[in-house]
Amino acid sequence: MKFGSPLSDDLHQKYGKKTLRPRKGDTVKIVRGGFQGIEGKISRVDGLRGKVYVEGVNHEKIAGGTALAPIDASKVVITTLSLDDKLRKRRVQGE
């Protein structure tokens, strides 16, 4: 499944791209839904469903306890990129 998240205005100016596929380690800000305004690091990405899991964004389970809440990738804005991966770094910087 193809999906992506919009980049913040600063990153859009710097890299000349509007959207990128989110990756583990990116910092994002949630802009829609019940968790709107929360900022955190992505701890997991579900590529089949197009969802991201952000640290500190939990929901209560029916049987008790908490679990990371899935957030649609289009509902977050990437504020900081994780450029640890060489391939991603080349793709983002246009080399």
Total domain count, the chain: 1
Asked whether residue 92 is assigned to any structural domain, the reply reads: no
Read off the CATH number of the domain in which 72 is found: 2.30.30.30
Which residues of the chain have a pLDDT value below 50? Answer: none
Please give the Cα distance from 19 to 9 (Å, whole number): 11
The answer as to whether 93 is a domain residue is no
Buried b (16+ CB within 10 A) or exposed e, 20-48: bbbbeebbbbbeeeebeebebebeebeee
pLDDT of residue 51: 96
Range of the domain at 66: 5-82
Determine the pLDDT at residue 47.
92
Note whether residue 9 is domain-resident: yes
pTM of structure: 0.90
pLDDT tens figures, 3-30: 999 999 999 999 999 999 999 999 999 9
